[in-house]
Structure 1
């Protein structure tokens, strides 16, 4: 499941609990770190 703009990782966390493979990205380094802690996966940083 690709979560672009994952924010805090709430949606990615839900899909992970449903056994989806998660790829999460966010433009904010701070939110990416928060999401990574929440979902237990690396979050990619989007740069424009």
Structure 2
């Protein structure tokens, strides 16, 4: 039983760190994705003219 509890705690800790990592990465990549969408919009606007 203690091994199962220890494994469960390790999984919970890993999940917590992964959520934090992905949250930070999403915040960092948000400006990059908006820049990319603006570039795509500008490119298609030029092609439409």
TM-score for the superposition, normalised by structure 1: 0.26
Q: Larger Cα Rg: Structure 1 or Structure 2?
A: 2
- More helix per residue: 1 or 2? 2
TM-score for the superposition, normalised by structure 2: 0.26
- More strand per residue: 1 or 2? 1
Q: Which structure's relative contact order is higher, taking Cα pairs within 8 Å and 6+ residues apart?
A: 1
